[in-house]
Chain A
Amino acid sequence: MTPEVEAIASELEAFLRRSFLIPDDDTRFTRSVNLWDEGYVDSAGVVETILHLEQLWAVRLPDEIVFDPRFRDVAGIAELVAGLVELERANGAA
């Protein structure tokens, strides 16, 4: 995991805990838990999560990203966002 992915994952984990009232002692909640299947985030929560990520990391998440197989857990979402951040940087530098 690159430092950037780690930073995004760490912040996202904290955001999810704070926003969806996930207790610190919930041992099932890990960076690889399926957020949708396990009921941590619902359909409305997806939207809050996307907006948070877009605002914090200054990227636009394409509509189809929510159906990317990696868009299911903290680690996968962090990878996707890091990829978009990198793409944004490359486009900005070009």
Chain B
Amino acid sequence: MSAPALTTRRVTDFVWRDGRPWRGPGDGRAAERPEDAAALWGQFALHERDGAGGHLLARDRLGVNKLFFALTETGEVDSSNFLFDLLQRGHRLGAVWSVPAGHALALAPARGEYRLHRHAALDYAETDGEALVEGIRAALVATFERLAALLAGRRLFVTLSGGLDSTTVAMLAREHLGEFTAVTFALEGDSDDLRHARLAARAAGVPLEVVTAAPDELAELLDLVLLHGQDWRDFNVHCGLVNAAIGRRLREQLGPDGGSPAPVLLTGDSMNELMADYHPVVYKGVEYYGLPRIGGGQLRRFLVSGLDAGDREVGVFNAFGLDTVQPYALAAEAYARVPAQRLEDPRAKQELVRLVMGDRIPEAIYARPKLRAQVGSEDVGGTLAAIADRGIDAAALRRRFAGLLGVEEHELGALIRGGRYRFSATAPWEGAR
């Protein structure tokens, strides 16, 4: 089985404005000024033109959809969801910039205009007790009700690892969105993930599609994941490989067209960032998924802002013609209010989900130790082992990523830093041309 070809299909925006879905230019401009982007809710990376040489680029609050731009020789603004797309069009890496998460950018190169404005930011003001739980419930309901309107008529899938995050999404999707197919990944044979995914699917009353892949098949997907996942860091690459295997299977089943409009996958991603629920993993004496050594509240801010860089979900599924929605990112404002002190408690998430979801989640899933989907079982294995055992370590991923982009490896140091893609608060074009 060969690896799929690269695609530069535009990533679908899911936008809500003025109390209803905004479906594109037919509904008027989403925003005329950077400040207007504050009225937008959703998952988006917009590039709008005013017809007079002015451009407005805007990206959603957490930066789920990616947005890069560069200037052409004639001063036009060229943009794409994908870095490799702009490089293929002839731009140099050093002349490509991103729009940071939660920002809108007004630019008109001919007029020398460049104005970057933060239109959305998470408020980390702490709340606790019933107010916190009610706030999360309300945010999730509002999110799924809006999704019900935005996704009406679309074929739906929910990725289900058998953990708390994805099971919650599956249960809420069943309540608010109706029928869907759950889809889970297993590297080979049975696994703890698979058993719990079956349990969660049964509880939701939905069919479960099990995607299996051999380690060699995953390795075949590596280049695609590096380019569409727009990152070389192990935690994103390993997760992206799981998603690529799922995406490839769904694409095979759906056929080359896959239906129009494209099917939509809902995922449980972003929750671990919002609850600072990540830990390094040691495999054969090597530490993977390293984190800054800082406290829970500060770590959460770093992880959430770090969603700016890396495209392991939306970008990777997009390569297979599938749209992706991350409901937790859309309900992030409620989770940002979880007190920092709570984040230090390893059972904080289980307790919070229990308060929010109650007995809608099977007890066995509450009781289960946390696992990363790409690790797969309590004994480290899964995608991490499949890749690491092939000698593909952090240095190899970085080297391969640079090679695929056709850039020098040292240039990557200026592409992602502190979890963000390179951006500029002031006009960068004079120095970048």
- A residues near B (Cβ < 8 Å) are 34, 36-37, 42-48, 50-51, 62-64, 66-67
Contact = CB atoms under 8 A, between A and B. Distances in A.
Contacts of B25: none
For the complex of A and B, list the 10 residue pairs with the smallest distance between their C-beta atoms, beginning with the closest. Answer: A36-B413, A47-B292, A46-B418, A37-B410, A64-B425, A44-B292, A66-B417, A48-B292, A66-B418, A47-B302
Given A45-B292, A47-B292, A67 B298 contact: no
B381 interface: no
Contact of A47 (B294, B422, B423, B425): B294
A48 B419 CA distance: 12
A37, A45, A62, A63: most-surrounded residue (chain B CB, <10 A) = A63
Given A47-B292, A48-B293, A63-B100, A37 B413 contact: yes
A67 B416 contact: no
Contact of A50 (B290, B410, B418, B423): B418
B294, B414, B418, B419: most-surrounded residue (chain A CB, <10 A) = B418
A34, A43, A64: most-surrounded residue (chain B CB, <10 A) = A43
Interface string B407-433: 000100110111110111100000000
Contact of A43 (B294, B417, B423, B425): B417
Contacts of B47: none
A63 B424 CA distance: 10
Nearest to B299: A47
B312 interface: no
A43 B418 contact: yes
B100, B302, B413, B416: most-surrounded residue (chain A CB, <10 A) = B413
Contact of A44 (B100, B291, B298): B291
A47 B416 CA distance: 12
B233 interface: yes
A37 B398 CA distance: 12
Nearest to B291: A44
A37 B410 CA distance: 5
Given A36-B413, A48-B294, 17 more contacts: A36-B417, A37-B410, A44-B291, A45-B292, A47-B292, A47-B294, A47-B418, A47-B419, A62-B425, A63-B305, A64-B425, A66-B417, A66-B418, A66-B420, A67-B414, A67-B417, A67-B424
B302 to A, nearest CB: 5
A47 B155 CA distance: 40
Contacts of B291: 44
Contacts of B298: 51
Contacts of B418: 43, 46-47, 50, 66
Contacts of A66: 417-418, 420
Interface in B289-319: 290-294, 298, 302, 305
A46 B422 CA distance: 14
Contacts of B420: 63, 66
A64 B116 CA distance: 11
B293 A46 contact: no
A34 B411 CA distance: 12
A43 B305 CA distance: 13
Contact of B290 (A34, A44, A46, A62): A44
Contacts of A37: 410, 413
A43 B293 contact: no
